[in-house]
């Protein structure tokens, strides 16, 4: 499959567009809540929710898979809460049939559900802004700013019996790609790698851009043997990709990797160091003639 050179719509711009859309989605619902609350007090006709934008219908923003999961999970949770707000807004119609709730109970119930939705939505918006701000602007992968906290959490879980495994990956011959085809070609390789790896990872796995052409994956709840299968699958998927240079000549790339499971007295630094040693052991073997 031929990959084009990176386009101008970079991940950083996509993230900003996405967050603006999310805030517009939330603002429309806040305005509807205010109108509906007034109608419950004045007996005016309740505003229709049909004109409220669904997030899926907003102008599309293409995101890498490693970002899309956070968004879709957040939206799903908020839409479930929004359904409770809509249900509460219909209770006046139900009152004429059941005579269970009086006017003020209806208003109090609606206000409670609306406040819960807005509180959760505003917190979700804040977390999305924080999370996406700490992403690598080129690839959308997480950066080293949050790496240590994730590793400390995984080590604590390991001591309680939950396994985790690190995979440290290095882009083979990346300098040669930059030197021969230019930095735009190198950027396209990195962007494609992030997308490709995300497609093969689970929602709970975390992809970090560890260095210029190095990646680190934290596989939660995963033993070393299974991590080895995942690493091989990632490498095989990368080796099938072809890229097109400016002169339409095709070029390819590959990955080397090292795997490390945690040890009882590990720190984040020692855990990464052992994965790093395993990575360079693979590189030495391949330089010695093992090309597989």
Nearest to 85 by CA among 51, 119, 55: 119
- Report the pLDDT value the prediction gives residue 100, as an integer from 0 to 100: 44
Pairing of strands 2-3, 250-251: unpaired
- Report the pLDDT value the prediction gives residue 62, as an integer from 0 to 100: 59
Does the pLDDT value for residue 286 go beyond 50? yes
Q: Phi and psi (nearest 5°) for 264? A: -55, -35
Tokens of 183: 């930095």
DSSP assignment of the chain equals -EEPPP-S--HHHHHHHHHHHHHHHHHHHHHHHHHHHHHHHHTPPPPPSTTSPPGGGSPP----HHHHHHHHHHHHHHHHHHHHHHHHHTHHHHHHHH--S-HHHHHHHHHHHHHHHHHHHHHHHHHHHHHHHTB-TTT--B-TTTHHHHHHHHHHHHHTT--EEEEEEEETTHHHHHHHH-HHHHHHHHHHHHHHHHHTS-TT-EEEE-SSSEEEEEEET--HHHHHHHHHHHHHHHHT-EEE-TTS-EE---EEEEEE---TT--HHHHHHHHHHHHHHHHHHHHTT---
What's the rounded mean pLDDT across residues 61-71? Answer: 63
- What letters, b where the CB count within 10 A reaches 16 and e where it falls short, cover 29-49? beebbeebbeebeeeeebbee
What's the rounded mean pLDDT across residues 121-144? Answer: 85
Does the pLDDT value for residue 39 go beyond 50? yes
Q: What pLDDT band is residue 4 in, cutting at 50, 70 and 90?
A: very low
CATH topology of domain 147-287: Alpha-Beta Plaits (3.30.70)
Q: What pLDDT band is residue 43 in, cutting at 50, 70 and 90?
A: confident
Kindly list the domain boundaries of the chain, sorted by start residue: 2-133, 147-287
Burial class (CB in 10 A: 0-12, 13-18, 19+), 130: exposed
193: Cα within 13 Å, side-chain hemisphere: 30
Q: Looking at the domain that runs over 2-133, which CATH code has it been given?
A: 1.20.120
- Report the pLDDT value the prediction gives residue 169, as an integer from 0 to 100: 96
- Report the pLDDT value the prediction gives residue 117, as an integer from 0 to 100: 92
State the pTM of this model.
Answer: 0.73
151 neighbors 164 (Cβ within 8 angstroms)? no
Mean pLDDT, all residues of the chain? 83
């Amino acid at each position: 499959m031929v990959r084009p050179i990176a386009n101008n719509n970079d991940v950083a711009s996509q993230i900003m567009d996405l967050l603006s859309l999310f805030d517009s989605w939330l603002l429309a619902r806040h305005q509807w809540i205010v109108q509906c609350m007034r109608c419950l007090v004045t007996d005016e006709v309740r505003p229709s929710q049909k004109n409220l934008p669904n997030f899926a219908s907003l102008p599309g923003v293409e995101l890498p898979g490693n970002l899309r999961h956070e968004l879709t999970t957040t939206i799903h949770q908020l839409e479930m809460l929004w359904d409770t707000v809509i249900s509460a807004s219909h209770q006046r119609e139900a009152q004429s049939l059941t005579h269970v709730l009086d006017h003020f109970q209806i208003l109090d119930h609606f206000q409670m559900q609306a406040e819960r939705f807005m509180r959760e939505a505003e917190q979700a918006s804040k977390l999305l802004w924080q999370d996406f701000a700490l992403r690598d602007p080129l690839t959308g992968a997480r950066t080293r700013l949050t790496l240590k906290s994730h590793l400390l959490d995984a080590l604590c879980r390991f001591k309680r019996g939950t396994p985790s495994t690190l995979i440290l990956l290095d882009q083979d011959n990346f300098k040669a790609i930059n030197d021969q085809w230019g930095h735009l070609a190198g950027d396209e390789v990195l962007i494609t790698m992030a997308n490709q790896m995300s497609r093969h990872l689970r929602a709970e796995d975390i992809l970090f851009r560890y260095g210029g052409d190095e990646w680190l994956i934290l596989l939660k709840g995963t033993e070393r043997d299974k991590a080895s299968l995942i690493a091989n699958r990632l490498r095989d998927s990368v080796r099938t990709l072809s890229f097109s240079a400016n002169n339409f000549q095709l070029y390819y790339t590959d990955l080397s990797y090292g795997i490390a499971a945690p040890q009882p007295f590990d720190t984040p630094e020692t855990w990464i160091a052992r994965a790093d040693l395993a990575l360079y052991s693979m590189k030495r073997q391949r330089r010695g003639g093992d090309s597989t």
